[in-house]
A and B are shown apart, each in its own frame.
Chain A
Amino acid sequence: MSALLPDAARPRRILSIWMPAMAMDHWRLGDGGERHALDDKPLVLIADTAHGPRIEAANRPGMAAGARRGMMLADARTLCPDIATAPSDPAGDLAFLERLAIWAQRWGPWSAMDAPDGLLVDVTAVPHLFGGEGRLLADVAEAFARRELTLRCAIAPTAGAAWALSHYGPPGAILAAQDDAEAKLADLPVAALRLDDDVLTVLRRLGLKRLGELATIGRDAIQRRFRNRKSPAANPLIRLDQILGRVPEPLLPVVPQHMPLVQRRLMEPIRHRQLLDQVVGDLAEDMARELEARGEGARRLELGMWRVDGEVVVRRLEMAAATREAAHICRLFAARLDDVDAGFGIEMLRLRASWAEPLALEQGDIEAAAETHGTSLAACIDRLTVRLGRDAVTRPVPFASHIPERAQRWQPPLEPEPTSQGELAFHKRPLKLLDNPEKIAVLYATPDGYPRRFRWRGEVHEVARVEGPERIAPEWWRERGGARLRDYYRIEDDRGRRYWIYRLGIVGDGRGGAPDWYLQGLCA
């Protein structure tokens, strides 16, 4: 039952990870290991502002020397003249955080970035894999320590509570589902509500320093004070509700995606257009395979050509509709490559699909191959049966019977023929058999039994030559007693038309009246 109702039985568990010194840690980790040597000297990361360089982050000795985030570098220099500086890299930090967010999915099915220096991981129903939530937090701490990243982390039922605990609570805090969140969080400062600075200033001026104190002045008072603040970050009530799980807080999960990318390093730099076209063709085919594997087509392609002398030539291409047809891509690029200056040669080419859209797999290629080489018999019969029905496509096979209409059966065309005993062909058979023997009126039969003239389908045929009769007895093991024997005649009329006719029964066989005549086959 609990599996069916996860929300009711098992509230969400969110892991919040905060890296207080992420920018500094990231800078230290970069560029091999030589930056570790600066660990015991004061160091700050600075950003340029209109008023001069400002400190974005400081390491531990720098903090001890008095440097703080947000200070002007000049002020820090007055406190500690030998402070070392390095440029900060917010974009790089964000990219690093992004990679960390994907890495952090080892602890839960999805994760979200909490810029600039935090992560949120959904660990609902996951902790048992690590041996409980405490062990999970220990695992997180160990993993981050191995990467030399300082962190604080906490687990709580809501993202807001987890964030508040990780930033302002005790290290490794866990807010269990059954705990009274309001009471547990009452001691945290109001800054734990993730509010804008001006709102915090307002609250501080109101004398509200702890979360618990917000409740003392009453909800209505806060509501009146902040009634025109709609954004969650500007309204303490919304943030409070989010922390306690009364209103939902949507989070944007990080989904790892890799961009289709193919490249060729060339043994020998190419300088000629013909070779370039060849390599671009190869790249386009690689790209087509890559895209096909993902079920996508490229809308925008970037071809980078790295020259020996260090220049990079980039050509972009944008398509009206998603495509992954190598020949098409080559044709489009051919026009763009005319003015490429190869210099001393191009040593590497890289093709990147920076914009790809879903493009369903289709069987166009099979059709094209059929156009040029023809279909196989199986494919042909498949198409025929699909359109005309299964019974419409058949193959005649022999069947052990003397009766002509029974001696042939129709079976699906590709099934093996049934084994049959080879018949001795004493008698010729007509080229075609009518579906049902048609009754003919024999106008005149000679006394010895040959028909001389008959009427079939409204026309009179004069029989010129006859061979017969070939007597075919009824198959008594199949038929009832009343069946009559048949005398078959192969005839040719005066105009050369050849038929196969028979007389059903003979006079005086005691199985009915006068024998009837039928026409059953047309000879070639």
Chain B
Amino acid sequence: MSDTALSSLPITAFEDVAALSARRSARWRPGLVAVQGPALHNEVFALSREAAGAGVALALALDDWRHVPRECGCEAEDRRGVLWVQTREAARLGGRPCRAGLPADLQGRVIHVLAEKVEDALFALEEGLRCRDLAFVIGEIPGNAKALDFTASRRLTLASERHGVPLFLVRLDAARDLSSARMRWEATSAPSAPPRWNAQAPGDPAWHAELFRARSHAPGEWLLGEDGKTLRAGRAGGETDRAVANWAAGLQHRRAPRRA
């Protein structure tokens, strides 16, 4: 549909479309970014003993990146870089990114920042979010650092939304504290599906991910898996549907009085 066709519609039509799409997108799913726009500040809670946090963050980021709609007429390849910020403690606990092990799309793009303190890491994250030449920013910060309070996370959200650079912040070994992140996940490794040729070998990565707080989605649990270039999400946990129903109902109830 072209722009002129859209602009000729009355405003009320958009209201209905918005409500409809909100109900449809009540549940998160891969590729949703194409419809709804990216959630620009994400947090992934994970343990430092496993690479699930970074894995999920990368998977979500790549999923967004592949599905985000390009503006018309933009044929140039997206050659923007990726900023990967770690504190030294995070690098000691979980290791540094290994170029050969990164997704093929990212191998030549990663710029790594090793910060001594959490404050420095936050500074680097914010500078990265302000940079128009970055596709997304990944951060790894261990524990519940004092510097990373609500104000700091709000700063990150604002910078991210202002310049449209998504942030995926991996919180290693952290408790669920106050934050203004738009989507907050908790991720652990899950047994992978057996590969086709060698059933005894570990397969493609799989994770158990819980979306426990999101601004525009219902919370829920998923089994995420990545094969090649796509992110797959399967159901996990039975209570998800009920939560979705309640959440959608609440949404409609809230919308009703606003209609004139």
Contacts and interface: CB of A to CB of B under 8 A. Distances in A.
A496 B187 CA distance: 12
B49 interface: yes
Interface stretch (B34-42, B98-106, B236-244): B98-106
A380 B101 contact: no
A410 interface: yes
Interface in A359-415: 370, 373-377, 379-381, 383-384, 387-388, 391-398, 404, 407-408, 410, 413
A457 B120 CA distance: 28
A386 B206 CA distance: 39
Contacts of A240: none
A299 interface: no
B251 interface: no
B163 interface: yes
A435 interface: yes
A396 B84 CA distance: 11
B101 A381 contact: no
Interface residues of B, number: 55
A466 B191 CA distance: 13
Interface stretch (B131-139, B143-151, B174-182, B210-218): B131-139
B113 A388 contact: yes
Contacts of A524: 51-52, 54-55, 58-59, 101, 205, 226
B95 A393 contact: no
Majority SS at the chain B contact face: mixed
Interface stretch (B6-14, B19-27, B69-77, B122-130): B122-130
B128 A380 contact: yes
A434 interface: yes
B133 A380 contact: yes
A498 B111 contact: no
Contacts of A398: 99-100
Given A396-B110, A432-B97, A521-B101, A495 B134 contact: no
A490 interface: yes
Contacts of B155: none
Contacts of B59: 524
Contacts of B68: none
B47 to A, nearest CB: 9
A40 interface: no
A206 to B, nearest CB: 84
B134 A380 contact: yes
A523 B51 contact: yes
B97 A431 contact: yes
Contacts of A410: 112
Contacts of A516: none
Contact of A374 (B108, B132, B194): B132
Interface string B73-93: 000000001010000000110
Contact of B206 (A370, A383, A387, A496): A496
A159 B111 CA distance: 71
Interface stretch (B195-203, B227-235, B252-260): B195-203
A127 B94 CA distance: 80
Most buried by A among B51, B52, B128, B134: B51
Given A431-B101, A432-B94, A433-B98, A374 B163 contact: yes
Interface in A158-207: none
A451 B83 CA distance: 36
Interface in A106-150: none
A155 B115 CA distance: 72
Nearest to B131: A380
Interface string B138-168: 0000000000000000000000000101000
A465 interface: yes
A522 interface: yes
Given A496-B190, A521-B101, A523-B101, A465 B200 contact: yes
Contacts of B116: 388, 392
Given A431-B97, A522-B51, A497 B163 contact: no
Contacts of A376: 131-133
Interface stretch (A257-265, A311-319, A422-430, A502-510): A422-430
A425 B104 CA distance: 11
A497 B133 contact: no
A46 interface: no
Contacts of B191: 464, 492, 494-496
A379 B131 CA distance: 8
B58 to A, nearest CB: 7
A408 B133 contact: no
Contacts of A431: 51, 54-55, 58, 97-98, 101-102
Given A374-B130, A432-B94, A392 B110 contact: no
Nearest to B111: A413
Nearest to A412: B111
A78 B228 CA distance: 118
Given A408-B98, A432-B94, A497-B189, A490 B132 contact: no
A524 B227 CA distance: 12
A379 B132 CA distance: 10
Interface string A438-480: 0000000000000000001101000011110000000000000
Contacts of B97: 396, 431-433
A374 B52 CA distance: 31
B15 interface: no
Nearest to A491: B202
Contacts of A464: 191
A118 to B, nearest CB: 64
Nearest to A383: B127
B60 interface: no
14 contacts: A396-B99, A423-B100, A428-B101, A431-B102, A432-B97, A433-B97, A465-B194, A465-B200, A467-B200, A467-B201, A494-B191, A496-B188, A497-B52, A524-B52
Given A430-B51, A430-B101, A433-B97, 10 more contacts: A374-B130, A375-B130, A377-B81, A377-B134, A395-B112, A397-B99, A398-B99, A404-B100, A465-B200, A496-B191
Interface of B: 49-52, 54-55, 58-59, 81, 83, 91-92, 94-102, 108, 110-116, 120, 123-124, 127-128, 130-134, 163, 165, 188-192, 194, 198, 200-202, 205-206, 208, 226
Interface of A: 370, 373-377, 379-381, 383-384, 387-388, 391-398, 404, 407-408, 410, 413, 417, 423, 425, 428-435, 456-457, 459, 464-467, 490-492, 494-498, 521-524
Which 4 residue pairs are nearest across A and B when measured between Cβ atoms? A524-B55, A374-B132, A467-B201, A432-B95
